[in-house]
Amino acid sequence: QSALTQPASVSGSPGQSITISCTGTRSDVGGYNYVSWYQQHPGKAPKLMIYDVTSRPSGVSNRFSGSKSGNTASLTISGLQAEDEADYYCSSYTSSSPVVFGGGTKLTVL
């Protein structure tokens, strides 16, 4: 099935807030509250940042938050820091397959 749609890149200055979108359909993002977000630094394994749309794993900064409206989920990072520069991926449960990933978004901290 098609990957979820994410912007290829976003950027922001230190201290600012940015939002990354993840657009799917009623068969995935819009139909289930099982959206996750991952952060991946170069050469490293992905790290779970948000699960079940809005929940944060223990140890993840509260600067990271998740939300959903209709078929689009969003990851917001507030108080942007240099260490946030990374690739971010969303994933969702789907009616035809348990897991589908988004294409990924490169976050640049200016």
Partner 1 sequence: QLQLQESGPGLVKPSETLSLTCIVSGGSISSSGYYWGWIRQPPGKGLEWIGSFSYSDSSHYSPSLKSRVTISVDTSKSQFSLKVSSVTAADTAVYYCARQPPRKLQAAAGFDYWGQGTLVTVSS
Q: Is 52 in the site for partner 1 (CB under 8 A)?
A: yes
Nearer to partner 1, 18 or 100 (CB): 100
Residues 21, 24: Cα–Cα separation, whole Å: 10
- Pick left, alpha or beta for residue 82 (phi over 0 → left; psi -120 to 50 → alpha; otherwise beta): alpha
Nearest to 78 by CA among 5, 13, 4, 27: 13
The answer to whether residue 89 forms part of the interface with partner 1 (CB under 8 A) is: yes
**Does residue 99 touch partner 1 according to CB under 8 A?**
yes
Nearer to partner 1, 2 or 16 (CB): 2
Nearest residue (CB) to partner 1, 50 versus 107? 50
Distance CA 53, CA 20 (A): 13
Residue numbers at the binding site for partner 1 (CB under 8 A): 1, 3, 32, 34, 36, 38, 45-48, 50-52, 57, 89, 91, 93, 96-104
